[in-house]
Amino acid sequence: MSDTPLLTLRNLRVVYPGDEGDLVAVRNVSFDLGRERLGIVGESGSGKSTTGRAIMGLVAAPGIVTADEMRLAGKDLTSLDERGFRRLRGKKVAMILQDPKYSLDPVMSVGQQIAETHRCHFRSSMNAARAAALDMLAAVHIRDPERVYALYPHQVSGGMGQRVMIAMMLIAGPDLLIADEPTSALDVTVQHQVLAIMDDLVRSRGMGLILISHNLHLVSSFCDRVLVMYGGRVVETCAAGELSKARHPYTRGLLASLPELGRRRAELPQLRRDPAWAEG
């Protein structure tokens, strides 16, 4: 492990220009990421997904991404054009989306979709890509890779679909994985299974992981460090184990509004929001 961080962000901003003033989706977000597991939590619209997409160069027009510094494994991302980003995507940084039902191409077999990533980055032959895809399916604990390879997305369950997604995104060996709500669309029973498989691969390959979620429990139990975002800004950073000691009123509010087993409360407290947090 080298000393230079895997990912460095300094004052990342994402702005959507509009007729009635600009919409700032991400305001001056800065953090360093080593080969660790970083969780980003926040409510809808807090800019957590947009941050992930900005790192991949996938912020759709008319969004404008600017940063004082944005480096991935030493490579400067701010000066990168679309072609340059394309070489990084899949190979250096990959992304897992929320719902495999919508994030896999419905008319291509799942095996081919995994092999496609391999062919794209290694210019490999059909057979080599197929063999790599079968290995990858086995690596995400799919028992009968040969059979699953030929299945289409509508024929696999949510949990299996998300494992296929992981295989598809990790086959080219990226250094950083951005998982955007990877388990929100899954049954509770398979959520942990999928996370465990992802976690296992991320650790054994020495990758960095950014886990984007609105689920505080999930993030605090799976990550080393947690960023709390509000209104496009990072309002608090703390070690996952110390989330209960968080000081920012927004984080405290989030924590307070979690229901707890065995503790009856007539009403959960409502989350108070202060516009000043986004400005501050």
Partner 1 sequence: MCRLLFSVLSTFLGLTCVTFFIGRVIPIDPVLAIVGDKASMATYNRVRSEIGLDLPIPVQYWRYLIKVLHGDFGNSVITSQPVLQDLLRVFPATLELSLMALMIGVIFGIPLGVIAATHRGRWQDQVIRFGSLIGYSMPVFWLGLIGLLVFYAKLGWVEGPGRLDVSYDDIVPVVTGLITVDSLFAGEHEVFWNSLGHLVLPAAILGYLSLAYVARMTRSFMLGQLKQEYILATLAKGLSPFRVVWVHALGNVWVQLVTVIALTFGSLLEGAVLTETVFAWPGLGLYMKNSLFNADLNAVLGGTMLVGVVYIGLNMLSDLIYPLVDPRARERR
Would you tell me which residues interact with partner 1 (CB under 8 A)? 56, 58, 86-91, 94-95, 97-99, 102-109, 116-117, 120-121, 152, 154-155, 165, 168-169, 172
Q: How far is CA 190 from CA 22, 81, 92, 110, in A?
A: 40, 39, 28, 19
Please state the closest distance from residue 64 (CB atom) to partner 1, in A: 18
The whole-angstrom separation of Cα 196 and Cα 164 is 14
Structure tokens at 50: 């947009």
Please state the closest distance from residue 225 (CB atom) to partner 1, in A: 23
The whole-angstrom separation of Cα 107 and Cα 173 is 25
The H-assigned helical ranges of 155-187 are: 158-170
Please state the closest distance from residue 264 (CB atom) to partner 1, in A: 40
Please state the closest distance from residue 252 (CB atom) to partner 1, in A: 34
Looking at beta carbons only, is 86 or 141 nearer to partner 1? 86
The whole-angstrom separation of Cα 175 and Cα 7 is 10
Please state the closest distance from residue 95 (CB atom) to partner 1, in A: 4
Three-state DSSP class for residue 232: coil
Q: Are 97 and 46 in contact (CB under 8 A)?
A: no
Q: Could you tell me which of 253, 254, 229, 208 has the C-alpha nearest to residue 30?
A: 229
Looking at beta carbons only, is 90 or 208 nearer to partner 1? 90
Looking at beta carbons only, is 67 or 94 nearer to partner 1? 94
Looking at beta carbons only, is 172 or 234 nearer to partner 1? 172
Beta-bridge partners for 38:
210, 225
Structure tokens at 49: 């997904």
Please state the closest distance from residue 272 (CB atom) to partner 1, in A: 33
Looking at beta carbons only, is 124 or 237 nearer to partner 1? 124
Three-state DSSP class for residue 123: coil
Looking at beta carbons only, is 97 or 243 nearer to partner 1? 97
Instruction: Name every residue whose Cβ is closer than 8 Å to that of residue 261 and which is 6 or more positions away in sequence.
Output: none
